[in-house]
Every structure is written in C-alpha cells, then in structure tokens.
Amino acid sequence: MSSIYECPCCGNKTFNPLSKAMAGTMKSKGKKCTKCGKRCVNGKGATAFAALYFTISFICIVIVFIHGQDSEWWYTHEVPIVLGLILNMLIVPRIVNGFFFKMMETVRIDAYDKEK
C-alpha cells in the first residue's frame, strides 16, 4: 500500500509528519528527499485546502473587523480574535499537510537553484 510519506519520485518512505508539514504546498520549493534528492511538496489536494482555509479565515477576519465596534465585548476581544485567526491560518494547513494528502515533485523550476 502506498503511503503519503512516500517520495513521489523514488517511492521510498523518506518523509514523516513533521518534514511533510514543512514541505509546503505547490507554491513552495519543497523539501529534499533524503534518498533521491528531488524536492517534494504537498500536492493539489493540500494546495486547494490551503487556499480554501485561507479564504475562510480571511472572511472571518473581515467579519470580526466589521463587528469590531458593536459592543464592549467585541472591543476588548477583537485584537486577540484576529491574531488567533491569523495564527490559525498559518499553522492549521501545515498540521493538516503533515497527516493528509499525497506528495508530488515540486513544479517550481527555480527549486534547484542556489542550493544551500
């Protein structure tokens, strides 16, 4: 059975939840496979999820902003809620990527330039 932690290029299980989470989506340069050296990212599913999650979080932030002056409660809680949503927007897709979605080789042509 194929695993989501398999490298899409060489088929070895070179990734774990942490390294997969850090590999980013199709827009990023990805993480190097330790066996074949190809750079891998989370594929279409993960990229679509990240975009959807970003949109939902953004709508929530806008709603919070609109209601920000409605009452005393909103006035004191607006900033922490917005900060929480922004943090959520950055962290949740990474956690989800760590446990779901298949990986693919990065599509960025500059991914192999300037190796550190």
Which residues of the chain form contacts with Zn ion (CB under 5 A)?
7, 9-10, 33, 35-36
Beta strands, E only, the chain: 31-32, 39-42, 103-105
CB of 101 to Zn ion, least distance (A): 17
Rg (CA), the chain: 18
CB of 11 to Zn ion, least distance (A): 7
Q: Which is nearer to Zn ion, 9 or 81 (CB)?
A: 9
**Rounded to whole angstroms, how far apart are CA atoms 59 and 53?**
10
Q: Which is nearer to Zn ion, 18 or 56 (CB)?
A: 18
Q: Which is nearer to Zn ion, 9 or 60 (CB)?
A: 9
What DSSP assignment string belongs to 32-51?
A: E-TTT--EEEE-HHHHHHHH
CB of 64 to Zn ion, least distance (A): 43
